Amino acid sequence: DVGLAALAQGCKQLQELRIPTWNHSPGSITHEGVMAVARGCRLLESLELPPSSEVENEGLIALGQCCPQLRSVTGDGWTRITDAAVVALVSGCPQLESVQLSHASLTDASADALAQGCPNLKMLDLFGTGITAAGLLTLARHTRQPQLRICTSCEVPAATLKKYPNVELFGVHVNLKVVTQDGNEIYFKCKVITPLKSLM
């Protein structure tokens, strides 16, 4: 956080900030650092945080208030993020194209906000959130892009998805090819949460 604050103070024209995932201890980057970057780097278009970051609502709210040109937000430390932060982010950053919100504490209210406020969305990571099939279908109905990819752990009936050919859901299943010792190939489709023991 101290380093981010110094960077924000000295690099007002910064447009892209990517922080490597291999280089930080857990909790070394929090919403305090994100808030400093948002307030100091108002031209920011892309922010990528390491999985070890621990960002709360205030970080995304500051991005929504200060960085109207933001197009991409990526990070895995979102467990403390709720609908309020997503609504604030969306209302201030209408140009968002790629948003990773995996494992955030979200409901379909976030899906509604993203669908209404971000017409340029191309990639959404909603894996492990509380967004339901209804929320995913709201996103599908409102997308204006030729292709919207959504990573999710929520299943939507295939027949329903056929109505939205420009939307691709992934992350629910994994396709596996097993080659036996005698050269035969066996194919499996299983959920990402299925233990390998069950597959065996």
Predicted pLDDT of residue 173: 60
Q: Is the pLDDT of residue 191 over 90?
A: no
Work out the average pLDDT over 65-75. Answer: 96
Work out the end-to-end distance of the chain between its first and last CA atoms, rounded to an integer number of angstroms: 45
Give the mean pLDDT of the chain.
89
**CA of 68: how far to CAs of 6, 87, 114, 178, in Å?**
22, 14, 15, 48
pLDDT band at 25 (very low <50, low <70, confident <90, very high): low
Predicted pLDDT of residue 89: 97
Which tokens hold the place of 171? Answer: 């992350």
Over residues 142-183, the pLDDT tens digits come to 988 889 999 998 888 878 888 899 898 887 666 778 888 898
Q: Which residues pair with 169 in a beta bridge?
A: 150
- Predicted structure pTM score: 0.82
Q: Is the pLDDT of residue 41 over 90?
A: yes
